[in-house]
Amino acid sequence: MTFNDIFKSGFLENVSAVSLFDMMLALILAFGLGLFIFLVYKKTYQGVMYSSSFGVTLIALTMITTLVILAVTSNVVLSLGMVGALSIVRFRTAIREPLDIAFLFWSIAVGIVLAAGMIPLAVIGSVIIGIMLLVFVNRKSHFNPYIVVIQCDGHDSETAAKEYLDEMTRRCVVKSKSAQKDSLELTLEIRLKNDNTDFINTLSEMDGVNSAVLVSYNGDYAG
């Protein structure tokens, strides 16, 4: 071993491990597919407050994953070090919507597949997944559950309101009941027969019913 071999470094040799054309092509495709994922997320979002930063994160995550996989596939030693480095990373941000997890994994998967050179799989797979999400997530059904909160002044008005809801809805189940002196509050889960919600107006005008509230039920309620 000579003096030059001791100070010899493979850093400059890794510069040309991935060609400039491959890098630019992979990043452009990652940006395009990440933007497609972002648009699908925006169209299918059903939460209360839309976060644009999460949509931008999907684009960035696709491009970052592509960069990491390009580096890993170009050097076996680097891939082992990368696995060790990523194993100590911990994320503490809570995912509020279960569907957001699917978009995160979708972005990561597209980045991996693109960097592996499987461009048709990444493009066709993303189109199919996007169409599937647009069709099923945006599909509206009259059978979606709703919550009705009724405040009434006694047993008779409670019974009349319950019988009216049984008649006007496909399904009606009492979820909770709170009783005070001269006041009752009922929480019921219902399934609508159609998209007409005028029955809640009639319900609020019934004798003994002080108020009636209809709320869309997304599964977060615990009764």
3 state SS of 154:
coil
Same domain, 201 and 108: no
What pLDDT score does 7 carry? 44
Q: Please provide the average confidence, as pLDDT, over all residues in the chain.
A: 79
User: Residue 99 falls within a domain, yes or no?
Assistant: yes
**Tell me, what amino acid is at 78?**
L
The DSSP symbol for 144 reads: S
Task: Find all residues with CB under 8 Å of 100, minimum gap 6, and list them.
Answer: 54
What single letter denotes the amino acid at residue 191? R
**Strand, helix or coil at 148?**
strand
For residue 185, the enclosing domain spans: 145-216
80-84 contacts: CB < 8 A, separation 24 or more?
none
Amino acid occupying residue 71: A
Whole-prediction pTM value?
0.63
Residue 221 lies in a domain: no
- Does residue 222 belong to any structural domain of this protein? no
Residues 161, 206 contacting (CB under 8 angstroms): yes
Residues 131 and 31 in one domain: yes
Q: Based on the fold, state whether residues 64 and 105 are members of the same structural domain.
A: yes
- Domain stop point among 137, 170, 192: 137
**pLDDT digit string (tens) for 92-140?**
666 677 788 889 899 999 998 988 888 899 999 999 999 999 888 876 5
Considering the domain architecture, whether residues 126 and 152 belong to the same structural domain is answered as no
Domain C-terminal end among 137, 158, 180: 137
Whether the per-residue pLDDT at 3 is higher than 50: the answer is no
**Exposed, middle or buried: residue 126 (CB in 10 Å: 0-12, 13-18, 19+)?**
buried
Report the candidate in 110, 100, 122, 2 with the shortest Cα–Cα distance to residue 51.
100
d(CA 171, CA 148): 12
Over residues 5-18, the pLDDT tens digits come to 444 455 545 555 66
